[in-house]
Amino acid sequence: MAKNLSSTSKVMSLLQQWDKGSKTVRAQILTDFIANNQNKTGPELEAEFAQAASLFFTRLTAWLRLTYMIGTCLKLQLQAINIFVSSSSGHKFLSEFMEVGGVLTSLEILGLKDGKDEDKAQSLQLLMGIASVGRNYKELICESYGTMAVAECLARSKSEETQDAARMLLQMLAEGNPKFQVQVYKGLIALLSSSSPKAQQMAAQTLRIVQKIVGHAIPSIVEPVISLLKSYHLEVQYEAIELIKDLMDFEVQESLLKSLVSALAPTKDEIRKQPEILDGMISSII
């Protein structure tokens, strides 16, 4: 009895510190929480907070909604939320997060113009944790325009860590999600035309996996994948070639062959711009 009272007293003291605390105080509370509660189950988190974990979790999600646009301790907040949401037997916390619009908030973080890449990477980790729970959650992310938000994040990010997290999430959203797998497939095709070589490489790489899931190819994939062969980046060319090989087993085979032949044929401008030394060589041969 005395032990329970002591635990309850500690939790109430912690909540009071949070409510009255400055940004610095809250950041320290979150840092301590993250350090001490990694990989804990839902019941273990409840025990940590004397069966009142939701009181802390509610405060945390409320602060996130109020401050995510200005980036206040955003990475710490997302890490702490992820501990709750991804905890084994912690479905209660996931439901509470969904009820307060947690998915929409996480997706909006990906689109913040002045947002830090480390914050976006953490938001993607949180979304992956939600998607891993099951098909219904993948559908909810997609229904919230998640495919577009994640694809745009991959295209615009300058961080390879963030881009890779976005790539993995897109792949997850395509797997075991028949209602939206074509939407993800089209989003990846759109990324082939990105100005970011890394995004192009990752999109082509992931398309090889998603192509098999979808089971058919759409004609709009031909032009952008052929264009990748003109890239100055060898890793992009490699993924394009491998994707083309895979696509030869689908209904776009004829279109691919025609486009490949057309790409190999020099244009009039290219012929006009040939080096003078080649003119001399051609003349001597003739």
pLDDT, residue 270, reads 56
Q: List, for residues 26-64, the tens digit of each pLDDT value.
A: 999 999 999 999 999 999 999 999 999 999 999 999 999
Question: For all residues of the chain together, what is the average pLDDT?
Answer: 92
> Residue 21 is encoded by which pair of tokens?
């605390």
DSSP per-residue string spanning 127-194: HHHHHTT-HHHHHHHHHTTHHHHHHHHHHH---HHHHHHHHHHHHHHHTT-TTTHHHHHHHHHHHTT-
- Give the predicted TM-score (pTM) of the model: 0.89
pLDDT classification of 77: cutoffs 50, 70, 90: very high
Q: Can you tell me the distance from the alpha carbon of 130 to that of 144, in angstroms, rounded to the nearest whole number?
A: 13
Element (H, E) at 222: helix 222-227
User: Quick check: helix, strand or coil at residue 249?
Assistant: coil
Intra-chain end-to-end CA distance of the chain, in Å: 103
Residue 282 pLDDT class (50, 70, 90 cuts): very low
CB atoms within 10 A of CB 190: 16
CB count in 10 Å sphere of residue 164? 16
Handedness of CA 173, 177, 180, 181 (dihedral sign): positive
- Tens of pLDDT, residues 194-246: 999 999 999 999 999 999 999 999 999 999 999 999 999 999 999 999 999 99
pLDDT tens track for 7-28: 889 999 999 999 999 999 999 9
CA distance 170 to 150: 7
